[in-house]
Amino acid sequence: MQHTADTGTQISVVEKLDGTPVKRALITGASSGLGLEFAELLAAQKVNLVLAARRQEPMEKLADALRRKHGVDIVVEPIDLAAPGAAACLKSSLDERSLQIDILVNNAGYGLHGAFLETPLERTTDMIQLNITALTELSYVFGRDMAARGSGQILLIASLLAFQPVPTFAAYAATKSYVLAFGEALHDELRPQGVVVTSLCPGHTETGFDAAAGAPVSPMLRLLTMKPRPVAESGLRALSQGKASVIAGFMNNVVAFSNRLTPRSMQRATMKRILGP
């Protein structure tokens, strides 16, 4: 079973990587949702940041606030990571300024709710490009540098939906299944090279995900909803502890564990009840 997240307010991100002080973290999807929480938590520990997302204005506002509050250096990189080749462009931009990334928080991604055949194909492929391809490319280009240095940390954001097929979230859940399997495999591959890879699996979280995905929120789903801060804390804590993966929240762990005891047909029916029509 994946590790259950401790939702205490104190968090200890690794302060040193093989004796080298942590200097800078790259957070993708940093303009909203969990990205804001990761930025606040890391800045509070005096980790310098690179914020990357499509919308520049909210990132600049966040950067100004964190600079004043924590005195850290923050670089804002407006970029559409769903565009082909975006990961390489971002890496090149940071290399030109000699900005070394010690922590990669692969947070950018979004979901689509609805019947697969009634969703425009270009929207689905755009989501796959961001949730899978961009995440993979970012892990590659920054992971290579980390492995060469013998130190680094990569946090991938999967989902509780990664553990079963989910009607009306068919493609989204499938992308998160990829992220979880990919991250756990990389955890073992890169550990001998001094690089920690951790996959965070949030359940339903108050991040604006539902509005962006066009998804209803059922009464049952509201009962399982978590605030974003403890979710982000659980991910960074698991990363600092060198864990392969973590599910945020006790009830979400129960849901994931129950999949081991039920047939997949029942899993699909359960998710339809929880997520609504």
- If one compares 177 and 2, the residue with the highest pLDDT of the two is 177
From CA 242, how far away is CA 84, in angstroms rounded?
Answer: 31
Give the C-alpha separation, 129 to 91, whole Å. 17
Percentage of residues in the chain having pLDDT higher than 90: 70
**44: Cβ–Cβ under 8 A, 6 or more apart, which residues?**
70
Detail the DSSP E strand segments found in 107-193: 152-157
Residues 6+ apart with CB under 8 A from 87: 81, 134, 137, 138, 140, 141
Residue 35 CA to residue 89 CA, distance in Å, equals: 20
Q: What is the pLDDT of residues 164-183, one digit of tens each?
A: 889 999 999 999 999 999 99
56-82 pLDDT, tens digit per residue, is: 999 999 999 999 999 999 999 999 999
pLDDT of residue 211: 61
Query: Which residue, chain included where needed, has tokens 């539902």?
Result: 210
140 as an active site residue: the answer is no
Q: Which of 110, 140, 172, 178 is catalytic?
A: 172
Rounded Cα distance between 200 and 179, Å, is 10
Domain edges within the chain: 24-275
Place of tokens 């992220």: 179
Residues 6+ apart with CB under 8 A from 95: none
pLDDT tops 80 at residue 266 = no
Task: Specify the pLDDT at position 135.
Answer: 98
Q: Kind of pairing, strands 16-17 and 245-247? A: unpaired
Architecture of domain 24-275: 3-Layer(aba) Sandwich (3.40)
90 close to 71: Cβ distance less than 8 angstroms: no
Express each pLDDT in 108-158 by its tens digit.
Answer: 999 999 999 999 999 999 999 999 999 999 999 999 999 999 999 999 999
* Coil/strand/helix, residue 190: helix
